[in-house]
Amino acid sequence: MMSVQSRPVGIIDNARLGMLLFIAAEVMFFAGLIGAFLVFRMGVATWPPPGQPRLPVLTTALNTLFLLGSGWTISMGSRMIQRKKAIRWERITLALGLVFLIGQGMEWGRLLQYGLTVEIGPYGFTFYMLVGFHALHVIGALLWRSADVLRIFHFGGKVYRDPDLSRMYWYFVVGLWPVLYGLVYL
């Protein structure tokens, strides 16, 4: 079996190929959700429908900055040769992702108090489907990256999986959010 270092140039290893296929499937999943959102949104004269709460554009913009910042910090962590500096960047990445999730959760709580629920119709349904599934993906990315960080940096474990796979997934989750934010909030 060839090692990663002895692969011919241009050949992708199975784990990375698998991750790319998984991300492609996720893109198709969100494309379906976005398509449903657009059908509902374009099918009515006013959006949001009368009587529905406006979404907190500025609060979510701040949350967006936290998530985008985590994309930068994970990149910085991967470039650090010194272990202590890499750990610091990885911890900042995880903290920014967690702050994003907490911010979104607080937003959901306020929106629920104002009556924005899944049951109110397409407005609430598509909002919670798009934003909710993204939140589930952020949770998955946080758990996966946390496991990689703990295994590599804190337990000194041998690397059996490529930590770049969880980084690729993190980039997907971060890159998807501005698209959803632009569609849903603006």
Each residue of 30-52: pLDDT tens digit?
999 999 999 999 999 999 988 88
pLDDT at residue 153 greater than cutoff 80: no
Q: Supply the CATH number for residue 170's domain.
A: 1.20.120.80
Q: Which domain holds residue 31?
A: 14-185
Annotate 81-133 with DSSP letters as a single string: -SHHHHHHHHHHHHHHHHHHHHHHHHHHHHHHHTT--GGG-HHHHHHHHHHHH
Within a domain: 8: no
d(CA 173, CA 137): 7
Predicted pLDDT of residue 159: 54
Which residue from 7, 24, 12, 2 is spatially nearest to 172, judged by alpha carbons? 24
Q: What is the pTM of this model?
A: 0.90
Query: Does residue 135 sit within a domain?
Result: yes
What confidence category does residue 161 fall into, taking pLDDT thresholds of 50, 70 and 90? low
Query: 73: which 2 tokens?
Result: 């910090």
Cα–Cα distance, 108 to 119 (Å, whole number): 15
Domain count, the chain: 1
* 153 within domain boundaries: yes
Name the least confident of 87-101, 104-118, 143-157.
143-157
